[in-house]
Structure 1
Amino acid sequence: MSNLRGRPSKRPKLIQHGGHSASAELHTRHLSFALRSNGGFSLRMSYLPAPAPAIEPAEAPSHVSTEIDPWNEMEHSAIFSPEDLQPVALILTINLQDDPILLWLNERETYLNELLYLEGQGKNDHEACSCRKPSPSFRCQDCFSTELFCHECVLSLHASAPLHRIKEWKDSFFHTTSLKHLGFRIQLGHKPGESCRRPRPAYDNDFIIIDVHSIHEVSLDFCNCKHEAPHFKQLLCARLFPATVTDPRTAATFSVLDLFHLLSFESKVSAYEFYHSLARRTDNTGIRPIRDQYSVFLRIMREWRNLNALKCAGRGHDPAGVDATQEGELAVLCPACPHPGINLPPNWETSDRQWLYAGFFAIDTNFRLKRRLVSSDAKDPGLTHGWGYFVEEHQYKTYLAENSGTVQEKSTCISHNAVNMADTKASKGLAATGVRTIDCARHDMKLPNGVGDLQKGEKYLNMDYIVFSALARFPHLTNVNLSYDFIDLHLIADVTSASFSFAYASLTQIDPSSRKESEQILTV
């Protein structure tokens, strides 16, 4: 049948069609639906013959011509014979992928049977081991295969996977066992499967490895050959992070450290919850006691984060070593703040639109971040000496100690207890009563050396040092905009031709008693 809406041919057809017969057979359209066994729907459309209704002949109006124009393709193509209208079947299949629960309900019992099937021997019942030994009884929970192996085969197959979990079939069910219980020993300093001529077992033949799967007790041997490396270095070469440098007895795999590092940012999971989840994976019944290595895991994770910060900052490629790291060098810079040589055009200093290259910074304090006085720097030293976001601790405390007798200047604004009651704020048993930060006001990123602890409220002593420590990294800026929650805050600055010059050497020489109303007010 010709398409009534088609474009007329440029070459008209000269074939004349006959008229429509009054006794032509009519057709009706029928739709039928069917549900398939796989859950899909079928839609069938058919044209079936139907008796023609009785139509009385009527005379055509005199002004209407009954002749057919042979040159009008649209006219004669609209007239067709009943033979042109053949029965047509159209099948439409609707996929139920948008409703997978309905499909799963039909197979729920199959799923359950397969789970129970794997709790037993499964297809390996009464089958021999791959080495032809009868009655294999060991299965690995972490290998892809679900086969059962004999004692010798399961040890040889795990030469490169010493932290897999093993179960043994006896008494009609699987018992939890370990490679250590089967006699497997991890040899460091050599390739998997190789033996050392002078192996040295770990202390008391007891070593613990914290992994993603569980907390393992393993038998581990260090290499004691002629050119052996220190024990902690042998562990690092095997991607095991030792808990101590001397005589390590506990280590964590790089995989579990990477996993927790990511989860702590994405899911905000704490180290306590993460470690005890690993303990539950090791034994969720409470029958077997799990060695408590939570404090060890905290120490390892702290060192791991510090090493990753140094690696990301490229400190491992400096010939001068890690100790040559400069203050604030490990911090991530705000990509939108003005940084000469990075995101500023050449000769930006001579531009008449200096407002484009101005810095916008915000100052604020969080009094909920308290820290109790439970340790000391001698017992718990810091790992970054001003290399990141916090100010350098020694210079900061020295400045505060030298000016501890300064009386806090009272604020003339109303309800600013953070300043007026700074000297009377309760701080017993606290090493810090809050944290002061300097941020990029537009992109909410902390500035390097722009974070510091507070001892008693928002004292000007703390604020001056922290602000100048952060602004010391922007000596090139000629326009600095600072925002704070009260306006009568005075900052001491060297103002020369509307330019602020800052230097680390002058931070400890700030005289807090020289505040005057004529000082430059930077707060807006």
Structure 2
Amino acid sequence: MFAKLLAAGEKAKREETVYSRSVQATSQAFNVDGTLLHTHTHAFERPPPIPIQRPPAPDKPSTSTLPIPPNPPTDTLPEKTVPPEEPLPPLFQDFEAKKVSIVDILFKQNTADGLGAPCPCGVAGATRTTMCRECWNYSAACTSCFVKSHVHAPTHWADVWSPDRGFFLRHDISALPGSPGIYLGHGGSPCPNVALGFVPQETFTIVDTNGIHSTKVQFCSCGIGDRAEQLLNARLFPGTFRRPRLAFTFAMLHDYHIHHLTSALPAYDYIAALRHLTDGFFFRDAANPYDQFRDVFKMWRILEAEMRAGQLHGIDRFFPRRPPGNLAVMCPVCIEFGVNTTHDEAAISDPSLRRLLFTADGNFQANHYLKTMEPKLISFYRGRAFFPSDPQYRVFAHRIKKDGQGSEQKTTCSYLNAINKQEKKKFVGTDISGILNIQCSHVFVVSTVDLQYGERFLNTDYAWHHAFLQRGLPTLEEMENLTGLFSYDIGCSYRVHALSRFLSRDELRDVADLVAKFEYCVPLVHVSNHKDNCLYLYSSAYRTGAGHFHGEQAEQVWPYSNQFGGQGRQMCNGNRQDLYIDLFNYWNFMKVVLLPAQLYNDLIRTAALKDEKLKVFISHCQSYSDKVPEWNKESREARTVRHKEVCCVYRHTPSKVPSQRRIYQALVDKAEGKGSLVAEEVSDEDDSMLEDSDNDEPRPPSPITLSPKHPKAVPLLLKHSISARDLQQKIMCTHAAYLQHETPTLLTKLKDLRSALNTTLTRLRTVQAQVTPQVAEDIEDINPEIENNTPEELPLFLPSHYTPADRVAKGLVALGTLELQMLEGAAYDNLARLRTVVRLLGAMGSDSKKNDYGQARHTRAKADLINANIKFETCMAQYNATRRAMISLGLPETDPTFKKMDRNSTRRKATTENRAPGDTYQTDGLLWTGDAIDSSNRLTHRPLVNNQHTSTAEAVGTQSSQPRKRKNKAKDKGEEPTSKKSRTGSPVATPLGADPVPASADGEASKDQHGWLWDIKSSSRDVSDKDVDAFLEEGNRVQWFRAEADVIRWQEEWERKLIEFLRTIRHYDKMADVWESLATSADSSPGKAAVAMKTSKRYLELSRRCEDVFRQAGYVYRHPHSSPRMADMTPAASTQQGIDTAADGGNNRAGDSPPTPYGGDHDLPGPAGGHTVLEDDTVIPFIQTARSNLNLTINNAIHPPPSSSS
């Protein structure tokens, strides 16, 4: 049997080898003198199968030289278990069940019913031979019927049945019998001025969405226009305007434009796809109109841009401040005087509401290759969009470089900036190294310039100048209270001579006064690559009036535009600029349409965060109530330099930070009860966590002989009970660590701890026998096996062990009251020790990271971290056990002081570390805030009820938009997240002062969040090192100032979002009015009027949707005067609204109850029907009232009124 298997395997292997060397059959077709010739390369034929070598009969000698091994015993063969296949989803199960019938239907499409039968038209000899696969429910008919039925669809393919071949052949309509053509000018009928029976002879190529047609076209001879005009009237765009022989359908051009913008489909690939649609096999035989298509699409694109921008309607007269002929899609939210900003808003002195926000960033993926033979095609936009006029820009760049003014000052603050580390060799072979964008805070592209050999200040200056001109320069009166914030990844260096550069150059001087109004910052992600000083000088997080302007908006467009980098770098520069203008216009257009949904999410998020941050700040004021009034006297704006380091209230003074070793040693002393911290000891040598106040009195001998009336009998009982409970928790935590690491040291420690627990229990039982003899029977029922092996599982039989009824029955009520008081003190001690141990872990991790190199040091550091984590787990377990006992004795589970402790509760942001991206979304844990704030479960997006079926991530990336971080499923379920490091047991060091929380027993640190632990007050005791004490005290001060900054920044952001909602509605209303005026103007043709009116209604619908989501957020915008346009909603629009409403499950427009108003700001002036009504003249007072209320709340938190309690 084994020989048969071996031979069969050899045969299969040989056959597989032969088959793998075979060549698949291929074919090619050539057209020679009108004859189609085919060449074939045949596959190698398989050799005949090799006969199986059968073993000889037993009575004959074997001729095989290979010995036949004996059959192995069956019980030694490994059993191969095939895992069961996972079941398919229901959809694919149904597909498998229907697959046979689906295949039959697909094959049926290659034939038709009634082929060869007489045609229903009744013409003699006419048979049903022709099918149209593009018309629905088309039955086979004769060719004449096909031509008649396709007068208005001449580009449908005709599938003609060939009886000889037995299948359908595809034909263009002109290839049918009689050579019918496409007639222009008379609705598909032949021109009456053409002789009857005339057959067009000119071959014409028409490119449609279904392929490339070589057909025949008959032009009209009635003088209705030249050939190009006749083609355009037939919705065909000619390839040339001088005797065209090629045209593209409007549908095809529009189809490609949409695919190109949404999926970065290149023109070459689109034409290749059309050739495949023409002939799926011999696709190379189809015509290739790629070159003509590029030129036609360039013209089509500029026409669409001019129609969309209203330039063909004369829209410039309604926007005199914008540059003439402007083709850029503008941001509806940004300040634009005369469009979306009222006079009251123009007079606001608050910098957060009158601030222009710009970002700048370069992208070297959008470069351009240097070519020797390149067509000199200019951009059709000619400086009327994002790119300035290219000839003027090149002259400016060349002159600045020639005069020697283009050299930039080197900056020393960043190792990844765009100046110092630019390698010129990476720009070899390019004449344009990339582009630089200026964008607003709502991620709308405002201006773009080309870069030459890197990113220089002259490029940024010109781009910024062009951005100002796009909106129109404000008047002197409007500029009086105007401010600005400019975010740039090298803003710290750019700002130094920015104003002087604008003043010294003629091309830029007209905006110099506006530039003088701007401050500069570095984006929050980029600033982490700068020196630490830049964070406190140029971070928007610590800048008044900045709100939550993170400055990284300029980066968000690059993932979209980078898809087109490979196409743009191969084009001539004019076509390349047209490409990027078209992309950025589409990007801006998408945001204009989807802006209401994003503004809603931003407003809801900011309202939630400003309230949350205020609660955190108030908790810090209560925790540091004795220090806050003095801290409040310090200036938030002051920045001083000491020893080349910037000092401010938001930063630890670098010179005051003690060494790692001093902090570590001081915290070890504090944790182990040395120095003056007796109550916070975490010592392995002394397991008693609470000593008598009289330390010089010796411990009573064992056994203890005290009467129940002895003055120290009850306190001694409670003292031993607390010691026993703490030891039990310590043993459990040590045992858990031993199961993970299995080290001999932990095993020895576990035995010693159980021995100490037995001693403590013996003392406890002795005192219990005298103080509470009524529990003796319960003690006697203890299982001896548990008592000897796992004493940590034994009950202590204290009042907290029993139910209230049992305590009454056993007479333990009075003792329970005393136990509760003792446990309360023990809980405070547990919290104090836990804070110490958390800081100890921070110092140990940081010290280990910097100094523990090499195997020996690393091994010792790992052991230390394991022990420190056991201390952490023990302290947390001891507190929770004490809390459970207190709850058993009557403490409410919802007690605001003693809450359940977990790892999240001990998290705290590092005060010694610089602010990191995303810190504003991380809130201190319960241990530190003393309130039930859990930022991980914050509802940042309320369900949005509107007609915009889109995800919030795709909506609009405004300054509050943050992509939602990946969910941690383990964290969401309340489990601890696992990682490779936690499984291997390698400790992860934590930076100094990070106050970390180990996420696992081996020391892996979690994300920085503060817990409520740090808000529980305890007795203030000196640390063993005064410098360390000052260092920790300064950490509290920095934490308080950063919390205050978070409150104010989110309040500013909330105020800005309210104004932005109103500006957006005003912009939509303005555009609706303008387009309606264009539709009714005297010089508008019917077609122009229809386009203008349709655009007006679209903007009107955008305004209505924006007001609708604003209402869902709890606000109502009351227009200065009722607009009659709302009553002019077209029936189609109203019907579509009903469809969308039904799809969304209804909304308040259909009579449903409005959403519940959000947040606590609806008690401010102006509520009506649960919503706050805002008007143009009341929105500013409303915001000012909210700001006054916030300032009053902050002041009361800093200086509590005498009558109020903390």
By percentage of residues, which structure has more helix? 2
CA separation of 1:204/1:411 partners in 2, compared to 1, >3 Å: closer, same or farther?
farther
* SS of structure 2 residue aligned to 1:215: strand
Structure 2 letter corresponding to 1:174: F
Residue 216 (str. 1) matches residue 213 (str. 2): yes
Q: Note the alpha carbon deviations across 1:67-94, whole angstroms, 9 max, x for none.
A: xxxxxxxxxxxxxxxxxxxxxxxxxxxx
Residue 483 (str. 1) matches residue 487 (str. 2): yes
Residue 130 (str. 1) matches residue 120 (str. 2): yes
Q: Within 5 Å, which residues of 2 pair with 1:19-168?
A: 99-121=90-112, 123-133=113-123, 134-168=126-160
> Is the 8 Å Cα contact of residues 417 and 489 (structure 2) preserved in structure 1?
no
Provide the residue aligned with 2:296 in structure 1.
Answer: 300
Provide the residue aligned with 1:14 in structure 2.
Answer: none
CA separation of 1:506/1:224 partners in 2, compared to 1, >3 Å: closer, same or farther?
farther
Separation in 1 of the partners of 2:468 and 2:199? 51
Structure 2 letter corresponding to 1:156: K
Structure 2 letter corresponding to 1:454: L
Residue 180 (str. 1) matches residue 174 (str. 2): yes
Q: 2:458 aligns with which of 436, 447, 461?
A: 461
Structure 1 letter corresponding to 2:175: H
1:332 deviates by 1.1
Structure 2 letter corresponding to 1:109: V
Q: Within 5 Å, which residues of 2 pair with 1:394-473?
A: 394-407=391-404, 408-414=407-413, 415=415, 418-420=418-420, 427-440=427-440, 442-447=441-446, 450-472=447-469, 473=471
> Is the 8 Å Cα contact of residues 166 and 176 (structure 1) preserved in structure 2?
yes
* SS of structure 2 residue aligned to 1:219: strand
* SS of structure 1 residue aligned to 2:419: helix
Q: 1:193 aligns with which of 184, 189, 196?
A: 189
Provide the residue aligned with 2:337 in structure 1.
Answer: 340
> Is the 8 Å Cα contact of residues 127 and 135 (structure 1) preserved in structure 2?
yes
Separation in 2 of the partners of 1:471 and 1:483? 15
* SS of structure 1 residue aligned to 2:104: helix
Provide the residue aligned with 1:260 in structure 2.
Answer: 256
- Range moving further from structure 2, 382-391 or 150-159: 150-159
CA separation of 1:377/1:126 partners in 2, compared to 1, >3 Å: closer, same or farther?
closer
Structure 2 letter corresponding to 1:239: R
TM-score (norm 2): 0.32
1:410 deviates by 2.6
TM-score (norm 1): 0.70
Separation in 2 of the partners of 1:489 and 1:188? 62
Q: Give the superposed CA RMSD.
A: 3.4
> Is the 8 Å Cα contact of residues 423 and 456 (structure 1) preserved in structure 2?
no
CA separation of 1:494/1:356 partners in 2, compared to 1, >3 Å: closer, same or farther?
farther
CA separation of 1:221/1:488 partners in 2, compared to 1, >3 Å: closer, same or farther?
same
Separation in 2 of the partners of 1:402 and 1:138? 69
1:206 deviates by 2.2
Q: Note the alpha carbon deviations across 1:178-212, whole angstroms, 9 max, x for none.
A: 2111212112222212324149x999712111111
CA separation of 1:287/1:277 partners in 2, compared to 1, >3 Å: closer, same or farther?
closer
CA separation of 1:462/1:446 partners in 2, compared to 1, >3 Å: closer, same or farther?
same
Provide the residue aligned with 1:34 in structure 2.
Answer: none
Q: Note the alpha carbon deviations across 1:289-321, whole angstroms, 9 max, x for none.
A: 011111222222222221111101111112999
Separation in 2 of the partners of 1:168 and 1:179? 11
> Is the 8 Å Cα contact of residues 260 and 266 (structure 2) preserved in structure 1?
yes
| Gapped regions of structure 2 (runs ≥ 5) | 1-88, 511-515, 522-1206
Provide the residue aligned with 2:1017 in structure 1.
Answer: none
Provide the residue aligned with 2:389 in structure 1.
Answer: 392
Separation in 2 of the partners of 1:479 and 1:258? 43
Provide the residue aligned with 2:525 in structure 1.
Answer: none
Q: Note the alpha carbon deviations across 1:14-72, whole angstroms, 9 max, x for none.
A: xxxxxxxxxxxxxxxxxxxxxxxxxxxxxxxxxxxxxxxxxxxxxxxxxxxxxxxxxxx
> Is the 8 Å Cα contact of residues 253 and 297 (structure 2) preserved in structure 1?
yes
1:426 deviates by 5.9
* SS of structure 1 residue aligned to 2:169: strand
By percentage of residues, which structure has more strand? 1
Structure 2 letter corresponding to 1:167: D
Provide the residue aligned with 1:235 in structure 2.
Answer: 231
Structure 2 letter corresponding to 1:220: V
1:112 deviates by 2.2
Q: Note the alpha carbon deviations across 1:160-183, whole angstroms, 9 max, x for none.
A: 111010111112211122211121
Separation in 2 of the partners of 1:148 and 1:218? 22
CA separation of 1:116/1:328 partners in 2, compared to 1, >3 Å: closer, same or farther?
same
1:269 deviates by 2.5
> Is the 8 Å Cα contact of residues 435 and 450 (structure 2) preserved in structure 1?
yes
> Is the 8 Å Cα contact of residues 239 and 296 (structure 2) preserved in structure 1?
yes
Q: Note the alpha carbon deviations across 1:401-445, whole angstroms, 9 max, x for none.
A: 2222233133132546743577956655423111111111x3211
> Is the 8 Å Cα contact of residues 139 and 147 (structure 1) preserved in structure 2?
yes
CA separation of 1:320/1:191 partners in 2, compared to 1, >3 Å: closer, same or farther?
farther
Separation in 2 of the partners of 1:184 and 1:362? 60
Q: Note the alpha carbon deviations across 1:306-347, whole angstroms, 9 max, x for none.
A: 1111101111112999xx994572111112211123322223
| Gapped regions of structure 1 (runs ≥ 5) | 1-97, 496-500, 511-518
Separation in 1 of the partners of 2:494 and 2:199? 61
Structure 1 letter corresponding to 2:245: R
Separation in 2 of the partners of 1:143 and 1:412? 67
Separation in 2 of the partners of 1:181 and 1:230? 26
Provide the residue aligned with 1:54 in structure 2.
Answer: none
> Is the 8 Å Cα contact of residues 213 and 281 (structure 1) preserved in structure 2?
yes
Q: Note the alpha carbon deviations across 1:223-249, whole angstroms, 9 max, x for none.
A: 232x33122111111111112222222
1:481 deviates by 0.6
CA separation of 1:318/1:230 partners in 2, compared to 1, >3 Å: closer, same or farther?
farther
